[in-house]
Amino acid sequence: MSGHPKRLQKLGEDQSHLLKTLFKTNIALRKEPKREDCERVMQKYEILHRLSWKKIKKHDS
């Protein structure tokens, strides 16, 4: 362990709205998006570049 606390990545309102729009089917089916889905939207949308795929996956949690 490095002894440094993890930096919290907090979603902005615009990021959260975009993710809810992109994954509305997943949300309706209560199904988490796959890693590949998360990485695809990270590459496509610049606003999501700094987020980890895990943060995108758990955005609605």
pLDDT per position as a tens digit, 9-27: 678 999 999 999 999 999 9
**Within-domain flag for 33:** yes
Assess if residue 2 is contained within a domain.
no
Can you give the pTM of this predicted structure? Answer: 0.75
Confidence at residue 41, expressed as pLDDT on a 0 to 100 scale: 95
* Sequence-ordered list of residues with C-beta below 8 angstroms from that of 31, at least 6 positions apart, any chain: none
Burial of 44 (0-12, 13-18, 19+ CB in 10 A): exposed
Does residue 40 sit within a domain? yes
Instruction: Confirm whether 8 is domain-assigned.
Output: no
Q: Identify the domain containing residue 50 by its residue range.
A: 13-57
Q: What is the per-residue pLDDT across 44-56, written as a single tens digit (0 to 9) for each? A: 999 999 899 999 9
Total count of domains within the chain: 1
In Å, how far are 37, 58, 60 from 31, measured between CA atoms? 12, 11, 11
C-alpha torsion angle, residues 39, 43, 44, 49 (rounded to 10): 100
- Model confidence at 5, pLDDT cuts 50, 70, 90, reads low
Please check the confidence at residue 57 and state whether its pLDDT lies above 70: yes
